[in-house]
Each structure stands twice: as C-alpha cells, then as structure tokens.
Structure 1
Amino acid sequence: MSEKQVLFSRPLPIAVFIVFALIADQIIKYLVELYLPFNQAVHVVPMLALYRTYNYGVAFSMLSGMEGWFIVGMRLTVCAFVLWLWKRTPKDRFFAHFGYALIIAGALGNLVDRLLFGYVIDYILFYTETWSFAVFNLADTFITIGAGAIILDELLHAKKADR
C-alpha cells in the first residue's frame, strides 16, 4: 500500500507557504519599525505588550557576542538540515512537514533581518509584575510552533507504531 502524500510534502506548496509566511513576518517587522517606540512597552492586554528591541544573537539573545557571519552561516545550516529532514521524512507525515515549513520560514525571516540590519527585530513581550519572557517575533513563533508540530508528529507516529 502506498503512503498518502500530504500537502507540505510537495515542493511547490511548501515553497508558497514559506514565501507567504516570510512576507507576513517582514511586513509586520516593517510596521513595528515604523510605529513602535524603541525599548518602550506598549501594553496590549494584561501580561502582553509590544516592545520593539533588537536581537544581535539568536533565540533569546544567545550568542549575541558572536560574529554576524557565524550566525548567518548557522541559520543557513539549520535551513539546509531541515530541508534534508523534509526530504527524508515519509510523505504521509503531515505535522512533520508542516513543522519543517514553519521552521524554514522562521529561520529565513530572521535571516533576512540579520542580512539587512545586522540584528533581528523583536516586538512581542509576555510579562508579569515579577517576571518577563524574552522578547520575540513572528519568525520565532513559527520556529517554536514548527518544533512543536514535529514533536507532535513523532508522538503520533510512535503511538501508531505501538498499535
């Protein structure tokens, strides 16, 4: 019996999705640059603020002291690795393929910022009176949800294999 091919296991749909996600990320970052004050919280609802800042590293400002080209190379390596995983993953694994698309879109979104500005534009802040999470952006959200989708796919696949 042949496996059922899911939408994001095919090159054209995944490419179109990545391009649209990348465009959405860049439009939002452009609007953030135009309208949000720098390093000032604009409270949206309790525990959520828009807060424009610049990230010179990678996720959560890790490696912020590293040379910019090292970070660019690392992001390109991640994209190449995820593409390699995408090609090797069985074509019926929806959540894995969806996750790969999200991770690539997020990595490319932050890579565009890094290449254009030398930093990544972040603007989403979750906080309480005594704690705040790292400031992040839509591209980071794509990467996080993508990783979650891949983990979910692995859990669902492992559950199927146990039957």
Structure 2
Amino acid sequence: MLPEMRKWLALALLIIVLDQITKALVVANFQLGEVRTLTSFFDLVFVFNPGAAFSFLADAGGWQRWFFTALAFAICGWLFFLLRHHAQERLMPFAIALVMGGALGNVIDRFAYGAVVDFLSFHIDKYYWPAFNVADSGITVGAMLIIWRQFVPSSSRSQST
C-alpha cells in the first residue's frame, strides 16, 4: 500500500467510528420511532431504513439488505482503486475517503440491525427531509466533491488539487 494512502484510509476509518458512535448513542438513548425536537427545523429521531437513500427499496421484502451490502463492497473496491490512483492529490482522495467511510459505516448497520440507523431530521414546517446519519453525510459530501472536481478544467488541476 502506498504510504500516501494511509491518511486517506485513516479518514475513512474516522468517518466509520464517528458514524458508529453517534448511532450507538441513538440506539442506547432513544426508543424506535422517538422524536426529540431540538430547534424549529431540526429533530433527532430514531428510525431504521432498510432501503437506500430516501428509503429507496425500503419495502422490497429483505433482499435489498444483501444487495446494498454487496453494492457497497463493490463500490468500496472501485474507490480503493481510485484512491491508489489519486493518493498524491488532496481533493479527490479526501472525497473518496468520505464516501468509503460512509458506505462501510452503513454496511456495519446492515449486518448489525438488518437496516441503517438514521437519526438526523431536518424540516421546514411540516415538510421533512428524509432522516439520515453521519455515514450518509460522508457519502453525500464526498460524492458532491467528486462531481465538482469533474467540472474543474484538467489544465488547472495540479497534483495538489
């Protein structure tokens, strides 16, 4: 393994640890379905999501647990390959590490609970964004950074971007 990869894999591990700690706190201190209002636009909740983003395939009957687990492992394998290729850069491996950490954090939930623990709930009045977690945040921010990087002209990229 390239020495440069260690810091990016450590970042992925940090995302996993933060994700699992926050989820453990929710599972230990909330009843399933419980909502605790913190502000007029933010609640802490405890829900299980057997599907993917926005509860995609949540009612599919159980096969989706293994499908999303296999998909996460396949994507992490591909991301590991990309990480090796981009390890000398800053933005791309940072983004890859966020996605990998998030994906593996949610895989741990699928093995432990059969579904992903979600607990962050934002809303405006009665319009709610689907609940999510630290892993989902890592995946989203990382994916957005990967997409954003694609719009940076290659001539302006350097080894440090």
* TM superposition score normalised by structure 2: 0.86
Alpha-carbon distance in 2 for matches of 1:90, 1:32: 35
- Deviations along 1:71-107, one digit per CA (max 9) or x if unpaired, are 2111111111212222233733x11110000000000
2:28 is aligned with 1:29 = no
Which residue, 86, 94, 97 being the options, matches 2:93? 97
Q: CA RMSD in A?
A: 2.0
In structure 2, do the counterparts of structure 1 residues 127 and 37 end up closer, same or farther at CA, with 3 Å as the change threshold? same
Following superposition, the deviation at residue 18 of structure 1 comes to 1.6
Partner of 2:110: 114
Alpha-carbon distance in 1 for matches of 2:146, 2:119: 26
1:24 alignment partner, SS class: helix
The answer to whether the 8 A contact 1:51-1:124 is kept is yes
2:125 alignment partner, SS class: coil
Alpha-carbon distance in 2 for matches of 1:136, 1:158: 34
2:124 alignment partner, SS class: coil
In structure 2, do the counterparts of structure 1 residues 145 and 72 end up closer, same or farther at CA, with 3 Å as the change threshold? same
1:20 alignment partner, SS class: helix
Partner of 2:68: 71
Partner of 1:51: 45
The answer to whether the 8 A contact 1:95-1:152 is kept is no
Partner of 1:128: 124
2:9 is aligned with 1:15 = yes
Partner of 2:32: 38
- Unpaired runs of 5+ in structure 2? none
Say which is worse superposed, 54-63 or 36-45, in terms of deviation.
Answer: 36-45
Alpha-carbon distance in 1 for matches of 2:18, 2:25: 11
Following superposition, the deviation at residue 158 of structure 1 comes to 4.3
Percent identical: 27
* TM superposition score normalised by structure 1: 0.85
2:128 alignment partner, SS class: coil
The answer to whether the 8 A contact 2:4-2:87 is kept is no
- Deviations along 1:41-77, one digit per CA (max 9) or x if unpaired, are 2111121111110000111111221512222111111
Following superposition, the deviation at residue 142 of structure 1 comes to 0.4
Following superposition, the deviation at residue 156 of structure 1 comes to 3.0
**How many matched pairs?**
153
- Unpaired runs of 5+ in structure 1? 1-8
2:151 alignment partner, SS class: helix
